[in-house]
């Protein structure tokens, strides 16, 4: 296994103090599971990066080169995590992005946390965060570098001793968990929040929705209040690294490891090879 950090393709663990990713969170990222030397769901990760770069008006990067580098890093890593960060690059003082034509591409390769497999099997307990997410239809769905809301929610999770937390928007609608997208099952139908106003459109979320529809499971996407999930039959969260993890407790209420969740888990989970 080869761990490390590369900036614009070169081994390096520093960036310029003038980089707009540092000054303004001006960029986006994606985090890729590597299993048996391959980047899982790579097409979805690349499309999300491309769409985000276009939306933010960042100068285009060399995706052919990025794919080449990802392929080489994944082979060397075998099993683990590759994170790709794209910033607008260096700029002058102030918000204007004029003259920013050289994006910064940061790639890191690291180990996959060992407890993720256990979480998939045993499930997690979550709370409900009191810290709301703001609404912005322009940046909703993007995995951008402005993650202060998530940092504050994580502080609350650590203080309360939860595994994770359900996060609501400032109007009281469910958005996601702090770590992942969230789904629930009621009367054999699947539900997940709309991400048109807030939240991250996860690649595993997209994959789960595809698989569910392929299995003939009805998928409902809308804005839902907290009561919609607390009386669910099954609940689970998804992201590209943990994949599909059942929720077994929300505050004082317990939930079963359900059949539909297990069915979807079997359809989407990529088991990493043993070291």
Quick: pLDDT tens for 42-73: 999 999 999 999 999 999 999 999 999 999 99
Is the pLDDT at 272 greater than 60? The verdict is no
Q: Among this protein's residues, is 176 annotated catalytic?
A: yes
pLDDT band at 275 (very low <50, low <70, confident <90, very high): very low
Q: In the chain, what percentage of residues exceed pLDDT 90? A: 85
- In the chain, where the domains are located: 4-110, 116-268
**For the residues 27-44, what does the mean pLDDT come to?**
96
Strands 174-177 and 104-110: unpaired
The residues facing 7 across adjacent strands are: 10, 106
Q: What is the DSSP string of 213-244?
A: HHTT--EEEE--BTHHHHT-SEEEEEETTTEE
Sign of the dihedral through C-alpha 146, 151, 44, 20:
positive
- Average pLDDT of every residue of the chain: 94
Which residue of the set 176, 192, 211, 234 is catalytic?
176
Is the pLDDT at 274 greater than 80? The verdict is no
Q: What is the pLDDT of residue 92?
A: 86
Which residue of the set 30, 31, 104, 238 is catalytic?
31
Which residue of the set 30, 90, 143, 272 is catalytic?
143
Q: What is the pLDDT of residue 1?
A: 59
Q: Which of 237, 200, 231, 262 is nearest to 125 (CA)?
A: 237
Q: In the chain, what percentage of residues exceed pLDDT 70? A: 98
φ and ψ of 106, to 5 deg:
-110, 130
Is the pLDDT at 109 greater than 70? The verdict is yes
Element (H, E) at 54: helix 42-56
The rounded distance, in Å, linking the Cα atoms of 75 and 151 is 32
φ and ψ of 171, to 5 deg:
-105, 5
Q: Which of 89, 23, 85, 30 is nearest to 57 (CA)?
A: 89
| The CATH number of the domain covering residues in 4-110 | 3.30.470.10
Q: Answer yes or no: are the C-beta atoms of 252 and 129 closer than 8 Å.
A: no
Q: Which of 27, 28, 40, 25 is nearest to 81 (CA)?
A: 40
Read off the pLDDT of residues 223-252 as tens digits, 9 standing for 90 and up.
999 999 999 999 999 999 999 999 999 988
Architecture of domain 116-268: Alpha-Beta Barrel (3.20)
Read off the pLDDT of residues 19-28 as tens digits, 9 standing for 90 and up.
999 999 999 9
Q: What is the pLDDT of residue 271?
A: 59
Greater pLDDT, 32 or 267: 32
Read off the pLDDT of residues 139-179 as tens digits, 9 standing for 90 and up.
999 999 999 999 999 999 999 999 999 999 999 999 999 99
Q: Which of 165, 202, 174 is nearest to 47 (CA)?
A: 202
Q: Which of 164, 166, 171, 165 is nearest to 134 (CA)?
A: 171
**For the residues 7-16, what does the mean pLDDT come to?**
93
pLDDT band at 273 (very low <50, low <70, confident <90, very high): very low
């Amino acid at each position: 296994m080869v761990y490390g950090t590369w900036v614009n393709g070169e081994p390096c663990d520093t960036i310029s103090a003038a980089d707009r990713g540092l000054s303004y969170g001006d960029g986006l990222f994606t985090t890729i599971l590597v299993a048996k030397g391959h980047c899982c769901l790579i097409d979805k990760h690349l499309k999300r990066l491309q769409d985000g770069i276009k939306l933010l008006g960042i100068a285009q990067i060399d995706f052919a080169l990025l794919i080449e580098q990802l392929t080489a890093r994944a082979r060397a890593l075998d099993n683990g995590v590759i994170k790709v960060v794209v910033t607008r690059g260096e700029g002058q003082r102030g918000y204007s992005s004029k003259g920013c034509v050289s994006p910064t591409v940061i790639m890191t390769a690291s180990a996959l946390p060992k407890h993720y497999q256990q979480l998939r099997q045993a499930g997690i307990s979550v709370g409900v965060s009191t810290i709301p997410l703001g609404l912005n239809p322009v940046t909703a769905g993007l995995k951008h570098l402005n993650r202060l809301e998530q940092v504050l929610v994580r502080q609350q999770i650590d203080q309360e001793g939860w595994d994770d937390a359900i996060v609501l928007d400032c109007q009281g609608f469910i958005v996601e968990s702090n770590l992942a997208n969230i789904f629930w099952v009621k009367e054999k139908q699947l539900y997940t929040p709309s991400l048109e106003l807030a939240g991250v459109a996860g690649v595993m979320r997209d994959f789960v929705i595809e698989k569910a529809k392929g299995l003939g499971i009805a998928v409902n996407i809308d804005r839902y209040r907290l009561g919609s999930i607390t009386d669910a039959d099954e609940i689970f969260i998804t992201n590209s690294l943990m994949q599909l993890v059942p929720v077994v407790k929300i505050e004082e209420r317990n939930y079963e490891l359900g059949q539909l969740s297990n069915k979807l888990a079997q359809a989407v989970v990529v088991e990493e090879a043993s070291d």
